[in-house]
């Protein structure tokens, strides 16, 4: 049976054999993924876009060295990460800034925010623009090591192993970082979720 990856492998073979224009088609399904990956590292739109162009061109130039046993999406993500990191290093060198990333130690509070006045967020609340905006800000504000794992796993929906491979981490570290990223976001977004959802009035009417 033909599946997506078989078609992709054939497409790659044709490009390498000389039908270079087909590279446009190969890359199209991954445009969003590559952008979000680079953006998660460089954190600004203009740099991310330049970085994507460099990463995609690099993928094009090196397509001949791509091995079919690998997954194209993971290979491409790795190139995108390297490009993002290269840009970040340049920017940091320019600013003579030190790299002050948190480590995977136990410091920090990774306890979720408890909620008591609602059970579920209705779908209408998730449709609210304010909530999306709050989420974007919260993700942008995550420490780098958590944001990168979160982006690959929860935005781009890579699995734990693919995320680990792309970032050069072991899967256990990916799981810890992912858990912390999600809890940090949950904590930050609870106030927005609460205002998005009217508090239940179940305590009214009780004898006080």
Partner 1 sequence: MKLDCKHVWERISEYIDGSVDAQLREDIERHLEHCEICSAILDSTRNILILTADDRTFELPVGYSERLHERLAKEIESSGKDLKKE
What residues make contact with partner 1 under the rule CB under 8 A?
15-16, 18, 20-21, 23-24, 27, 31-32, 35-36, 45, 49, 52-53, 56-57, 60-65, 111-116, 118-121, 126, 131-132, 135-136, 139, 150, 154-155, 157, 160, 175, 178-179, 182-183, 185-186, 189-190, 193
Query: Are 41 and 143 spatial neighbours (Cβ–Cβ below 8 Å)?
Result: no
Residue 88 and residue 83: Cα distance in Å, rounded? 9
Helix (H) or strand (E) holding 191: helix 171-196
Find where tokens 């209408």 sit. Answer: 124
Complex with partner 1: residue 36 or 91, whichever CB lies closer:
36
Residue 127 and residue 86: Cα distance in Å, rounded? 37
Query: Are 68 and 51 spatial neighbours (Cβ–Cβ below 8 Å)?
Result: no
Q: How far is the CB of 6 from partner 1 (least distance, A)?
A: 21
Query: Are 145 and 167 spatial neighbours (Cβ–Cβ below 8 Å)?
Result: no
Complex with partner 1: residue 74 or 186, whichever CB lies closer:
186
Q: How far is the CB of 193 from partner 1 (least distance, A)?
A: 6
Q: How far is the CB of 147 from partner 1 (least distance, A)?
A: 12
Q: How far is the CB of 159 from partner 1 (least distance, A)?
A: 9
Complex with partner 1: residue 27 or 91, whichever CB lies closer:
27
Query: Are 99 and 53 spatial neighbours (Cβ–Cβ below 8 Å)?
Result: no
Instruction: Find how far residue 76's CA is from the centre of its chain.
Output: 14
Q: How far is the CB of 208 from partner 1 (least distance, A)?
A: 22
Complex with partner 1: residue 90 or 200, whichever CB lies closer:
200
């Amino acid at each position: 049976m033909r599946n997506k990856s078989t078609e992709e492998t054939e497409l790659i073979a044709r490009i390498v054999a000389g039908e270079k224009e087909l590279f446009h088609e190969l890359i199209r399904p991954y445009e969003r993924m590559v952008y979000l990956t680079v953006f998660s590292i460089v954190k600004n739109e203009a740099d991310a876009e330049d970085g994507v162009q460099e990463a995609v061109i690099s993928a094009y130039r090196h397509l001949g060295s791509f091995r079919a046993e690998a997954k194209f999406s993971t290979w491409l993500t790795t190139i995108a990460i390297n490009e993002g990191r290269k840009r970040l290093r340049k920017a940091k060198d320019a600013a003579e800034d030190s790299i002050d990333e948190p480590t995977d130690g136990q410091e920090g509070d990774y306890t979720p925010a408890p909620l008591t006045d609602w059970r579920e967020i209705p779908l209408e609340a998730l449709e609210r623009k304010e909530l999306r905006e709050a989420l974007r800000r919260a993700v942008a504000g995550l420490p780098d090591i958590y944001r990168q794992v979160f982006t690959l796993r929860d935005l781009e929906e890579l699995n734990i192993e693919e995320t680990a491979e792309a970032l050069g981490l072991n899967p256990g570290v990916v799981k810890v970082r992912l858990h912390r990223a999600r809890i940090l976001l949950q904590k930050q977004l609870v106030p927005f979720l609460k205002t998005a959802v009217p508090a239940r009035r179940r305590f009214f009417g009780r004898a006080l």
